[in-house]
Each structure stands twice: as structure tokens, then as C-alpha cells.
Amino acid sequence: MAIRDPRKRAALQQMGVQLWELRELAVDAPVLSAPGAGVEDAAAVTDAAPAGAQPESGNPVMSMTWRMLEKAVAECRLCDLHQSRTQTVFGSGNPNADLLIVGEAPGAEEDRQGLPFVGRAGQLLTEMLIAIGLTRDQVYIANTLKCRPPNNRDPLPEEVRRCEPYLVRQVELIQPKLILALGRIAAHNILKTADSLARLRTREHRFGSSSIPVYVSYHPAYLLRSPGEKRKAWDDLKKVRALLCR
């Protein structure tokens, strides 16, 4: 792979991707100048029925504007997590983005700053986005939970159920052309499945009544612990890049 841009080279090297140079001609990887390209169905096997959260009819969250939704999240007391949080983590990025990235839940640094993916895993995510020609300002990043579980434990089913409408409404307002779920827990909560991450990575899924395509990859925190899996994550990112470039 021949890459001229020094930031992309550094990002790809961080991802564990081997770089090489052509002697006579070096070709840059495709770059997304802006997240405005449409997304078409991939050649992967598509789930038969849309997955994703379906909030009960009449839930007031589903009629909220973006500003109202931010306020509701900031003041939420629907589960016990409000007792231990420093602040909620609504999300960050471009609310008109074509790509929505969804993680599991805020960690300690996210809880302190009120922003998603700002710790070491967030730094790696930033490099991963750079590697496919995107910045954090071009995508939107959120979590399935808006509050940090104590000691970074897995979210409880009731916590997920209470928080679900917030994410569903974010999806409705953003109307992304593609959702990238990072990690097993985020994928399970979004898609309502117990399939393994390895199986989920091989297929295109659909979210909610709008049937937005969903792809699944490794959480950056897992990649920091298991750098040998970065090559697979890079394959997932190339798929996302190709879909957004169409």
C-alpha cells in the first residue's frame, strides 16, 4: 500500500498495516473529502429483517428536537447510573454525518470530559478515521449508554433499555447512511443479537424501521489489548470507506 500523506501513513502504521512504495508511481488511497457520498448495499449477506431498538409508541423522546434531546440526556434519572456519573456523554461530531459510530458506554475519561472516545481508545479511533480519510468532525460518535457504568462494567439490560430511546432518536435525527458498531456489546445492544463478533463482522445488518445499514468491527480498546487484530479492523474500515465513497 502506497500512501503519501504523512498523517495517513502514521495512522496506518498505528493500525499495524504494512506500507510500501512504488518505484515509479505512488497512488494515494481514496480520500473522503466530505461525508456526503451515498451508501449502497454491499455484496455481503444481508439480514432478513431490520434489527435495532424499537421504542414504545408514544415515547416523548421520539418527538424531541436535537436540543431537547441533549437536555433530556443531561438531566436523565431513568436508571441508577445517574448516581455515580460525573456527567452524561451525549455524543460529538457532525449531526448531519453520513457515518454514525456507536460504542458501548463512556469510560472514566469520557465521564470526566463529557465526550465519547477521548481516552487511549479514542486516540486510536481518531487514527483509524484518518486512515480512511475522515476526521472526527465529519462523523458522529455516540454510545449505547450515555452514562459510565461503575468500574467500566458491562451495561445492565435495564440500563440499556432505559437509554435506548436516546440513541434511536439520535439515529432518526442524524439519518446516517451507515452505522459502524464498535465492539461486541455495542453490536449486541444495537442489533438485538447474541451472535459472536466474528460472525457479526461478516454480514451487513439493518437498524430500525429505516433499515440503515450497520457494520460491526472491533472496539479500539480491544485493539489496544490485541494489536494482532488490527489487520482485521483495517479490512472493516476499508469496507466502510468503499461504501461511503460510492
Cα distance between residue 114 and residue 157, in whole Å = 23
pLDDT at res. 29: 35
Which three three-digit cell numbers place residue 153?
Answer: 462494567
Question: What pTM was estimated for this model as a whole?
Answer: 0.80
pLDDT at res. 246: 83
Please identify which residue in the block is written with the cell numbers 483509524.
128
Q: Please return the burial class of 197, using the count of CB atoms within 10 Å of its CB with bins 0-12, 13-18 and 19+.
A: middle
Cα distance between residue 71 and residue 67, in whole Å = 6
pLDDT at res. 87: 97
- Return the CATH architecture of domain 56-245: 3-Layer(aba) Sandwich (3.40)
Which three three-digit cell numbers place residue 134?
Answer: 475522515
* Cα atoms in the 13 Å half-sphere on the side-chain side of 235: 9
The tens-digit pLDDT sequence of the chain (246 residues) is 445 566 666 666 666 655 534 333 233 333 333 333 333 333 333 333 445 555 555 799 999 999 999 999 999 999 999 999 999 999 999 999 999 999 999 999 999 999 999 989 999 999 999 999 999 999 999 999 999 999 999 999 999 999 999 999 999 999 999 999 999 999 999 999 999 999 999 999 999 888 999 999 999 999 999 999 999 999 999 999 999 988
**Strand-pair category, 212-217 with 205-207:** antiparallel
